[in-house]
């Protein structure tokens, strides 16, 4: 069996060990002194208890309406909406050109359609995700083409201007409310005898190409 040592025997052994260590230290030139370090706290400090200063809110730059208005400033129109109405027969809700900002007679034109949430076609295309129908994008471009075809030197503005065909159409991205559809049409061929006009068109939103294609139109003049 194992014998239990009395507390006095353990204390006597510890005291003898301390005396022995003191003697060895003294003979070696060392001095044993009590530690001056503060006792370590028994309870760990919770991270939540540490007081921290709240971070300062990051200041958001505010541009303001005047600066944005200057940034989005558009060039003066060559044809404003009133002039466009004098050239094209289309009317609401099918007039899809708000103004023309660049025009070279008989060659090319750049028109703008400001797409708003109040467009008639957004009621059904689509109520939960309004997107300008692709065929109406082509129609808007065709109307810019009409600005070229219904003026000299192509025609004298008399007669009707009809779609005869469209090919090589590619849509790149959707057109949604708030977009400015910037459309360019360029005349590539004109056959007065047959009343045929060919054009190449491309449209952009925010500098990104959204749709392009080749157009063919027919001019019909009523004979009296």
Q: Give yes or no for residue 38 having a pLDDT over 60.
A: no
As a whole number of angstroms, the distance between CA 12 and CA 149 comes to: 119
Q: Give yes or no for residue 68 having a pLDDT over 60.
A: yes
Q: Give yes or no for residue 40 having a pLDDT over 70.
A: no
Residues forming the active site: 125
The predicted structure's pLDDT at residue 3: 53
The predicted structure's pLDDT at residue 151: 92
Task: Compute how many other C-beta atoms are within 10 angstroms of the C-beta atom of residue 176.
Answer: 14
- Yes or no: say if 97 and 113 are a contact pair by the CB < 8 Å rule: yes
- The SS3 of residue 103 is strand
The DSSP code for 194 is: T
In sequence order, the β-bridge partners of residue 184 are 110, 202
Q: Give yes or no for residue 119 having a pLDDT over 60.
A: yes
- Tens digits of residue pLDDT in 141-192: 999 999 999 999 988 767 788 889 999 999 999 999 999 999 999 999 999 8
In the structure, what pLDDT confidence band is assigned to residue 193 with cuts at 50, 70 and 90?
A: confident
Q: In CATH, what class is 73-220?
A: alpha beta
Range scoring the smallest mean pLDDT among 10-14, 108-112, 180-184: 10-14
14 burial type by CB count under 10 A (0-12 exposed, 13-18 middle, 19+ buried): exposed
The predicted structure's pLDDT at residue 73: 86
As a whole number of angstroms, the distance between CA 115 and CA 132 comes to: 8
The predicted structure's pLDDT at residue 192: 87
In percent, the amount of the chain with pLDDT more than 90 equals 60
Sheet hosting strand 180-191, strand order edge to edge = 99-104, 108-114, 180-191, 196-205, 208-220, 160-171
Give the pLDDT mean for 124-151: 96
Contacts of 130 (CB under 8 A, 6+ apart): 117, 119, 122, 176, 177
Closest-CA residue to 161 (of 169, 171, 151):
151
> Domain coordinates of the chain in residue numbers?
73-220
The DSSP code for 91 is: -
């Amino acid at each position: 069996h194992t014998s239990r040592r009395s507390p006095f025997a353990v204390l006597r052994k510890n005291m003898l060990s301390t005396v022995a260590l003191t003697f060895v230290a003294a003979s070696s030139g060392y001095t044993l002194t009590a530690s001056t370090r503060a006792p370590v706290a028994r309870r760990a400090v919770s991270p939540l208890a540490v007081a921290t200063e709240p971070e300062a809110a990051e200041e958001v730059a505010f541009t303001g309406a005047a600066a944005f208005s200057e940034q989005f400033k558009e060039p003066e129109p060559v044809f404003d909406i009133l002039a466009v109405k004098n050239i094209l027969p289309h009317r609401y809700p099918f007039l899809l050109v708000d103004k023309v900002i660049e025009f070279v007679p008989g060659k090319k034109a750049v028109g703008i359609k400001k797409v708003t949430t109040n467009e008639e076609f957004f009621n059904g295309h689509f109520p939960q995700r309004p997107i300008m129908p692709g065929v109406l994008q082509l129609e808007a471009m065709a109307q810019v083409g009409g600005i070229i075809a219904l003026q000299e030197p192509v025609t004298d503005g008399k007669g009707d201007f009809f779609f005869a065909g469209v090919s090589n159409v590619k849509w790149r991205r959707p057109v949604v409310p708030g977009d400015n559809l910037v459309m360019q049409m360029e005349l590539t061929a004109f056959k007065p005898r047959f009343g045929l006009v060919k054009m190449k068109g491309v449209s952009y939103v925010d500098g990104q190409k959204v749709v392009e294609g080749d157009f063919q139109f027919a001019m019909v003049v009523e004979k009296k």
